[in-house]
Amino acid sequence: MTKIIDLSVKEKIYKSKKVQISILNDFRLEVATGEKIAIVGESGAGKSSLLNIIGLLDRNYFGEYTLFGSPTDQLHTNQLAQWRNQRIGFVLQESALINSLTIEDNIKLPFLYASPDKKGVGEIEDFDTVVSAIEIRHILKKKPLECSGGEKARAVFARGIIMKPQLILADEPTASLDVENRERIVTLLFNMNKEFNTTIITVTHDLEIANRHDRVIHLERSK
C-alpha cells in the first residue's frame, strides 16, 4: 500500500508562561493510504500536538515529515494553505466556528478558498449529503451562539469533511455528542474511508471508538 504519512519527530518542545515541556520524543509514525488510526493516551502526552504537526498547523519541532509523498519542509506558503484546505480535513477542538456567519456559511467556507478547478464541482450535492447524514439542516440559518454544543460539534465535523479530503484529522470528534449523534459521526467518517479510501486519524478517549479503527497508537508522557 502507498504510504501517505512518514513522520519522525525527535522532539517537540511545548512552552507556556510557567513551564517548558518536551513531548513526542523519538516518535515515529508511518500510515498507509486508507488506514484508520486511533490515537489514545493521557492528557499532556502530545495527542493534539501530534495532530497539529500531521496537519501542517505546527512546523516548530525537530524532525522530518513526508506527507503525500513530498517532504513538507520544501512546501511554500501557498502549497501549505492549499493542502490544508483541499487535501486535509480538520475536525479539531480549536476549530471554532465564526460567530458572525450562519452555520451554513461556516460549513461552506472551504469552498470559498478552493482553487478554481475545484469550485462548483459537486458542491451542492456534497453539502446536501453531509447535512442530511448528520441531520443539521434545521440549524443551517442559525449562528453558532444560537446552537448547542452538540450542534456546533456536528457543524465543525461537516466543515472538516465537506471537501472530501484525502486525510481527515479528528480531535475528540464525538466528545460532546449523545450516543445517537456519536454513531452518525463515526458512521459517516468510516463510510468516507470505505468509499473514497480516505485516511482517518482520530484522537479519542473513547476506547470503544478507538478499537473500531484499524490500529490504535498509545502515547505516553515523556519521562
CATH number of the domain where residue 84 is located: 3.40.50.300
CA angle 216, 221, 223 (to 5 degrees): 135
Query: In sequence order, what are the beta bridge partners of 28?
Result: 8
Q: Is the pTM of this model over 0.85?
A: yes
- Greatest mean pLDDT among 59-73, 82-96, 111-125: 59-73
Q: Is the pLDDT of residue 17 over 80?
A: no
d(CA 62, CA 100): 38
Residue with cell 520544501: 74
Check: CB of residue 115 under 8 Å from CB of residue 181. no
d(CA 108, CA 67): 26
- Give the Cβ contact number of residue 163 at 10 Å: 19
Q: How confident is the model at residue 95 (pLDDT cuts 50, 70, 90)?
A: low
Query: In sequence order, what are the beta bridge partners of 32?
Result: 3
State how many domains the chain has: 1
Picking from 213, 204, 126, the residue whose alpha carbon sits closest to that of residue 165 is 126
Query: In sequence order, what are the beta bridge partners of 31?
Result: 5
Domain span including residue 103: 3-219
Q: Can you list the alpha helix ranges (DSSP code H) found in the chain? A: 47-54, 77-82, 103-107, 109-112, 123-133, 149-161, 179-196, 207-210
Q: Is the pLDDT of residue 20 over 90?
A: no
Q: Is the pLDDT of residue 9 over 90?
A: yes
In terms of Cβ atoms closer than 10 Å to its own Cβ (0-12, 13-18, 19+), residue 130 is buried
